[in-house]
Amino acid sequence: MRITDRRSTDIYVRLLGHVRPYWRVFALAIGGMLALASTEWMLPALLKHLIDEEFARATVDGLSLTLPLLLIGLFTLRGVLSYIDTVALAWIAHRTVMDLRAAMFGNLIDLPSAFFDHRGSGELVSKFTFDVTQVSQATTRVLTVLVKDSAVIVALLGYLFYLNWRLAACLLLLAPPIAFVVHRVSKRMREKSRQLQQSVGELNQIAEEGIRGQREIKIFAGQAFETKRFARAINNARSFQMKVVQTSAATVPIIQLLIACGIATMIVFALREAASGAMSQGDFVAFVTATALLLPPTKRVTGVNEFLQRGLAAAESVFALIDQAHERSDGKICLEGARGAIEFDNVSLCFADNPVLNDITLKIDSGESVAFVGPSGGGKSTLLDLVARFYHTDGGVVRIDGHPIDEIDLTSLRKAIAYVGQDVILFDDSIYNNIAYGGLRDSSPDEVRAAAQAANVLEFADNLPQGLDTTIGTNGTRLSGGQRQRIAIARALLKNAPILIFDEATSALDTQSEREIQSALTRIREGRTSLIIAHRLSTVEAVDRIVVIDKGRIVETGTHAELLKSNGAYARLAALQVAPDANSERLIKTEDLT
């Protein structure tokens, strides 16, 4: 067993670097393993003494209890040492796994939004559940074998050389063919381990989608399709798992056969030496016992390559996530006391070479409320994502209060922004903690309750058994869509930021609730820059300005009255919503004005 290349060595050294903080416990584990290995030769040595000395002495001087007591003492010592190294190494492994998970998660939540656009959540979750456990095998099982079993082999070989160096030298001839076999299978095992990890990620992704989309699956009779899809995923995972096992299973017997041939040859020569009187009976029994004791650790050493390659492949995946570059946060300008003036200067953006925004030029004054409307996919949400710096422009500049956004400190930028998205995200916690989330935890209970009151959260929360302290389940599954959206709005109101972004913030509310929330938002918007995306045009009539975006370009700007009077794109959208006929209904479905 060996690490096959320089990259593998670097990965394993880096993995061991995570053990460094626990070097005292690690030293205890290593010491226990080495001490345990150093006792391995004592059993054949006791047998030699028993046969050569105790048998003859028993017939003359009677029964001696010295050897049985030594045997009990030996196994007591070995039991204590085994317990120490097993527990110590397991403690290190679990701490290492904990540290790796913490490092992955700490980096994950700081990654740019573009990273998540190309990766499923199931794939990422698999790194925390499956990949990191494979890494733990490389820090426990592999280390145990490398240290303890290798030391056992060295100790037994040393004892064999002590008994008869000529016979023991036969075993050294087996090293080259064993190294050749291990080298040939290591690359294949690593590749299959990578494929196994990818298949497990796909499996997790499908399972997560099945759980998240269980209502759609039932309504659209997708059970058979999803079952087949999941069956393919678990079969792929099984197939790659079996390929790893088959490669490992084929390696171990070949190596064991080579070792068995060497041991058999040694025994033949040992019999000849015993017959010629060159070895005593005790020497022969001790020699055969020591060679027999070589088999288990040798089997583990040759078989550990499977766990090593799987661990290295998993470590590659884990370190790849840890090494992902954070969001760019090199801005030096602090936005303390931000006014909220926003400027888009010839802004362009592409996703995978597909233009999303084209030469957007727009100035928004401090305290101005601006609504963005237009067909789905036109670039409205992406444009507002630039304000929060979820994405970076491919051309042009976004400015906040006259400062290029890339030169603004990222923390202070986002501190100046409150956001409510069309996909409401809540956490499996109380209503109170979902409103006073993150940096808002220091808000007073009165402030939280006032925000809840303004967003009409108290209307339903006060009727719950625990009020605002009621736990709402994963993403608020115990609440209605409108109730979840009210909580998200209350969170934005509590932040009291100078820039408010509302992306379909009232889409899940009924008409009466929407009117009440709009009234509250109108009050909150006073003195703040408000950017609003809405498909219900009636909800944006009172804003200062409306911007119509289509195919990544601004096609119209003006007030509600001005745009209706111009009889352009906005007027056509308004006409579709006010008096839809058969053709307009078909057009609405085509354009999906959301």
390 domain residue, yes or no: no
C-alpha distances in angstroms, 444 versus 100, 433, 466, 467, 498? 36, 12, 18, 17, 20
Burial of 561 (0-12, 13-18, 19+ CB in 10 A): exposed
- What are 57-99's pLDDT values in tens digits? 654 454 456 767 777 887 788 888 888 888 888 888 888 888 8
Segment among 150-154, 358-362, 561-565 with least mean pLDDT? 150-154
Burial of 311 (0-12, 13-18, 19+ CB in 10 A): buried
580 domain residue, yes or no: no
527 domain residue, yes or no: no
Alpha-carbon span 514 to 506, nearest angstrom: 6
β-pair partners for 397: 345
Q: What percent of the chain has pLDDT over 90?
A: 8
- Dihedral Cα 56, 62, 65, 67, nearest 10 deg: 0
Q: Which amino acid, 10?
A: D
Instruction: Report yes or no: 204 and 125 within 8 Å, Cβ to Cβ.
Output: yes
User: Tokens standing for 455?
Assistant: 């967003």
Alpha helices in 131-174 (DSSP H): 132-139, 141-144, 150-172
Its domain, for residue 295, covers: 6-322
- On the question of pLDDT at 220 being above 70, the answer is no
160 domain residue, yes or no: yes
- On the question of pLDDT at 523 being above 50, the answer is yes
Residue carrying structure tokens 């963005």: 372
570 domain residue, yes or no: no
Segment among 29-33, 184-188, 371-375, 393-397 with least mean pLDDT? 184-188
Instruction: Report yes or no: 427 and 437 within 8 Å, Cβ to Cβ.
Output: yes
Q: In terms of DSSP bridges, do strands 369-373 and 545-550 run parallel, antiparallel, or are they unpaired?
A: parallel
C-alpha distances in angstroms, 591 versus 200, 541, 551, 567, 587? 38, 21, 11, 19, 6
356 domain residue, yes or no: no
- On the question of pLDDT at 467 being above 70, the answer is yes
First-to-last alpha carbon distance for the chain, in angstroms, is 59
- What are 109-162's pLDDT values in tens digits? 888 888 887 777 777 888 888 888 888 777 777 777 777 778 888 888 888 788
What does the pLDDT average to over 29-56? 73
pTM greater than 0.85 (yes/no): no
65 domain residue, yes or no: yes
- On the question of pLDDT at 225 being above 50, the answer is yes
DSSP-derived secondary structure letter, 509: S
If one counts every other C-beta atom within 10 angstroms of the C-beta of residue 379, the result is 23
Q: What is the 3-state secondary structure (H, E, C) of 174-239?
A: CHHHHHHHHHHHHHHHHHHHHHHHHHHHHHHHHHHHHHHCHHHHHHCCCHHHHHHHHHHHHHHHHH
The SS3 call for residue 500 is: strand
Residue carrying structure tokens 């922004």: 417
pLDDT value of position 187: 67
Q: If you average pLDDT over every residue of the chain, what do you get?
A: 79
DSSP-derived secondary structure letter, 145: I
555 domain residue, yes or no: no
Alpha-carbon span 462 to 477, nearest angstrom: 18
If one counts every other C-beta atom within 10 angstroms of the C-beta of residue 168, the result is 20
Beta strands of 36-134 (E only): which ranges? none
pLDDT value of position 212: 67
Instruction: Report yes or no: 549 and 383 within 8 Å, Cβ to Cβ.
Output: yes
Q: DSSP letters along 297-325, please?
A: HHHHHHHHHHHHHHHHHHHHHHHHHHTSP
The half-sphere exposure of 271 on its side-chain side, counting CA atoms within 13 A, is 5
Residue, of 346 and 238, whose pLDDT is higher: 346
β-pair partners for 354: 351
Burial of 366 (0-12, 13-18, 19+ CB in 10 A): middle
Number of domains in the chain: 1
Alpha-carbon span 539 to 520, nearest angstrom: 13
- On the question of pLDDT at 188 being above 80, the answer is no
Q: What percent of the chain has pLDDT over 70?
A: 84
User: Tokens standing for 45?
Assistant: 């040595």
DSSP-derived secondary structure letter, 430: B
The SS3 call for residue 7 is: helix
Q: What is the CATH number of the domain that holds 123?
A: 1.20.1560.10
User: Tokens standing for 415?
Assistant: 């501190």
CA 351 to centroid of chain Cα atoms: 24
Q: What are phi and psi of 2, to 5 degrees?
A: -155, 160
Closest alpha carbon to 425 in 444, 438, 442:
438
If one counts every other C-beta atom within 10 angstroms of the C-beta of residue 124, the result is 19
pLDDT value of position 363: 93
Alpha-carbon span 564 to 572, nearest angstrom: 8
Closest alpha carbon to 347 in 398, 297, 295, 313:
398
